[in-house]
Amino acid sequence: MLPLGEPWKGLVPGGGLRRGSTVRVQAPPGFGGLSLALSLVTESSSRGHWCAVVGVDDPGVVAIADLGVDLRRVLFVPRPRGAWAESAADLLDGVDLLVVRAPSRVSHGVARRLADRVRERGTVLITLCEPNAPWPLPVDLSFDITESQWATSARLDARYLTVRVGGRGEAQRSGEHIVVLPNRRGRAAAG
Amino acid sequence: MERLLALWIETLSEEKPDGSTLRDYLAVLDALTVLCPFTETVRLGLFVLPVRAPSRFFGGEAAVFGAARQSVRDLIGREPSLGVADGLFCAELAAREGVVVPEGGTESFRRSQPISVLGRKDLATTCRRLGLHTVGSFADLAPARVAERFSAPVLQLHRVARGELSELKTQRDATLARRLRTARGEDEVAHEQMGFFGQRGAGDDRAQAAAYRVRQRLGVDAVMVASVRGGRAPEDRASLVPFGSPAPAAVETAPWPGQLRAPAPAMTLRHRVAVRLDDQRGEPVRVGSRGLLSAEPSSLVLSNQARREVVWHAGPWPLVERWWVIDRRRAHLQVVLAAGEAVLLVAELDRWWIVGIYD
């Protein structure tokens, strides 16, 4: 198990990410999918696990640091061009968590091979996708953002995300939750 | 354009095989940095420093020239060639000729230069055949005419000739800063950056090996590592450098006045995207000199003419930076669009750009 931070600890069955599992984060563009995916790695990262982010063109370094990710143990592959799957496979050997945003539609075969690799290496694969280009395989755990609402004062304050947590096995019975991501300090919190 | 003092030291421009050139260059750099902390290394043999502030400090430009000349003479026993003009391009020319262009005289100095100083033989030949022998006569051509006939790099040269750009692209040696750091011994070996309080575990080695594999596959700048440094706006604070490059300076944790507060955008665009911000009547919104918006923004027009409704905005937060040198004025604005996405905009020179997306 890789540990999860607040607020996910209480919302995910087992309170952590099982090694060898595939996790899907699905959101329309601009709805906080990237923040959510990164908030899943914060706790592991601060406990010394390595993670990699593939295919996120322009990572907001400050926001990632504010979330609580330890940047000293994060590798970014912002523009893998056509070789995102190969880079992801390479990185699966070296890191504990891998966040992937595929630049194009993912074929069934590629997804299958990556999932096998993940299971074999005991890594956690977090795939970030949009509803109109979903991950082609069933996943162990899924976070689907259905609504995103900004709370504002004289500036952007916090964003309330409605997240449907689901998946296989015990995770099937999870439900819809509201989380604050990011909050006024740029971190994730329970709603 | 800033008035610059350029020092041209002929003997340091050619590299000797024993590495003495770089050492001498460093020694001169250190001496000049004492005179003015903004001394820049342009390429081997050439330094520039802004002349205004030091001359006020030392009591006149002549005193600065004297001090600079003296320190070069003491260190390497050569006489540097000094020149002063506005902008790097003219400053270098002035230094090679050893002239001090009087204040306000840069324009005519530049115009009187032969066309060959722009550094392109083909352009010089063509221009001479057309009867254009000086930079000035080339500058008088309409930009549209130049664009018709020549390639984009020549158009850049034309802008330099007109005084719209202060320097040629080829003037600076991009690798010099790194070589100087290596020569000083500040360049750390790649793997030291990855350590965690000096301890390295098996996980670190594994991650590093994987990073090298990806780098082999995609090229040296495919794998990046990030750090946060000091600054006001999120796009200034983010540092993303290729894996294996020298370790960034220590992480900045001190409070920074005027910093935009969290939450920061989860994506900060490396190449900011030009947009238009319109008010209700379709007029562009501007940031006035007092840092206020000219009108309430009501829609954001993307480059493909797609119009997105703005439902909420906050700011602007103006930043006036280094007003004594470059007078850079920016203002940040947070905007929420009708669909619920939020973006961070920046206004500069009456134009708007998306710099961050709160994904």
CB contact under 8 A, A77 and B222: yes
Q: Is the pLDDT of residue B334 over 50?
A: yes
CB contact under 8 A, A34 and B210: no
Chain A nearest-CA residue for B271 = A58
pLDDT confidence bin for B37, thresholds 50/70/90: confident
Chain B closest CA to A134's CA: distance in Å? 18
Q: The tokens of B337 are what?
A: 């669009």
Chain A closest CA to B241's CA: distance in Å? 10
Q: Is the pLDDT of residue B68 over 60?
A: yes
- Closest C-alpha to B286, from B337, B235, B338, B333: B333
A76 vs B289, higher pLDDT: A76
Q: The tokens of B230 are what?
A: 């000091």
Which residues contact residue B31 at a Cβ distance below 8 angstroms, ignoring those fewer than 6 apart?
A: B71, B72, B74, B75
CB contact under 8 A, A48 and B270: no
Chain A nearest-CA residue for B317 = A155
Percent of chain A with pLDDT strictly greater than 90: 30
pLDDT at B283: 86
pLDDT at B191: 41
Q: Is the pLDDT of residue A46 over 50?
A: yes
ipTM computed for the complex: 0.90
pLDDT digits (tens, 9 = 90+) for B261-288: 888 999 988 888 889 898 888 888 888 8
The DSSP symbol for B11 reads G
**Domain coordinates of chain B in residue numbers?**
3-107, 115-166, 190-242, 267-357
Could you write out the DSSP letters of every residue in B21-70? Answer: HHHHHHHHHHHHHHH-TT-EEEETTEEEEESHHHHHHHTSHHHHHHHHHH
Handedness of CA A44, A48, A54, A56 (dihedral sign): positive
- Closest C-alpha to B331, from B230, B232, B229: B232
List of chain A residues whose C-beta atoms are within 8 Å of the C-beta of residue B192: none
CB contact under 8 A, A57 and B267: yes
Residue B103 and residue A48: Cα distance in Å, rounded? Answer: 59
Q: Is A183 left (phi over 0), alpha (psi -120 to 50) or beta?
A: beta
Q: Among B191-195, B252-256, B341-345, which is the least confidently predicted range? A: B191-195
Q: Is the pLDDT of residue B327 over 70?
A: no
- Across chain A, what does the average pLDDT equal? 88
Q: Closest CB to A65: pick one of B228, B243, B265.
A: B228
A52, A106, A135, B92 from A132: Cα distances, Å: 25, 12, 10, 56
Residue B94 and residue B100: Cα distance in Å, rounded? Answer: 7
Q: Closest CB to A94: pick one of B207, B341, B357.
A: B207
List of chain B residues whose C-beta atoms are within 8 Å of the C-beta of residue A29: 341, 359
Interface size between A and B, measured as CB pairs under 8 A: 189
Percent of chain B with pLDDT strictly greater than 90: 24
SS3 track for B42-53: EECCEEEEECHH
Helices (H), chain B: 20-35, 52-58, 61-76, 87-97, 106-111, 121-129, 135-139, 143-149, 152-162, 176-184, 202-218, 234-237
CB contact under 8 A, B206 and A154: no
Q: How many CB atoms lie within 10 A of CB A177?
A: 17
pLDDT at B192: 42
Mutate which: A26, A36, A54, A75, vs B, most B CBs within 10 A: A75
Chain B nearest-CA residue for A36 = B359
CB contact under 8 A, B263 and A74: no
CB contact under 8 A, A148 and B209: no
List of chain A residues whose C-beta atoms are within 8 Å of the C-beta of residue B234: 60-63
Chain B closest CA to A51's CA: distance in Å? 8
CB contact under 8 A, B342 and A159: yes
- Across chain B, what does the average pLDDT equal? 85
CATH architecture, range B3-107: 2-Layer Sandwich (3.30)
* Domain A2-144 top-level CATH class: alpha beta
- Closest C-alpha to A15, from A50, A48, A43: A43
pLDDT confidence bin for B125, thresholds 50/70/90: very high
Q: Is the pLDDT of residue A4 over 60?
A: yes
Q: Is the pLDDT of residue B194 over 50?
A: no
Mean pLDDT throughout A36-42?
A: 92
Mean pLDDT throughout A103-131?
A: 89
Is pTM beyond 0.80? Reply is no
List of chain A residues whose C-beta atoms are within 8 Å of the C-beta of residue B315: 155
Chain A nearest-CA residue for B344 = A156
Q: Is the pLDDT of residue A176 over 50?
A: yes
Q: Is the pLDDT of residue A105 over 80?
A: yes
Mean pLDDT throughout B30-52?
A: 87
Mean pLDDT throughout B230-238?
A: 84
List of chain B residues whose C-beta atoms are within 8 Å of the C-beta of residue A145: none
At A110, which helix (H) or strand (E)? helix A108-121
**Domain coordinates of chain A in residue numbers?**
2-144
| 3-state DSSP assignment of residue B321 | strand
pLDDT at B189: 45
pLDDT confidence bin for B140, thresholds 50/70/90: very high
pLDDT at B325: 59
Residue B31 and residue B233: Cα distance in Å, rounded? Answer: 34
Mean pLDDT throughout B139-151?
A: 90
Chain A nearest-CA residue for B196 = A72
Chain B closest CA to A178's CA: distance in Å? 16
Chain A closest CA to B276's CA: distance in Å? 19
pLDDT confidence bin for B113, thresholds 50/70/90: very high
Contact status, residue B66 vs residue B80, Cβ threshold 8 Å? no
Chain B closest CA to A89's CA: distance in Å? 9
Q: Is the pLDDT of residue B10 over 80?
A: yes
CB contact under 8 A, B314 and A155: yes
What angle is formed at CA B281 by the lines to CA B275 and CA B285, rounded to 5 degrees?
A: 40
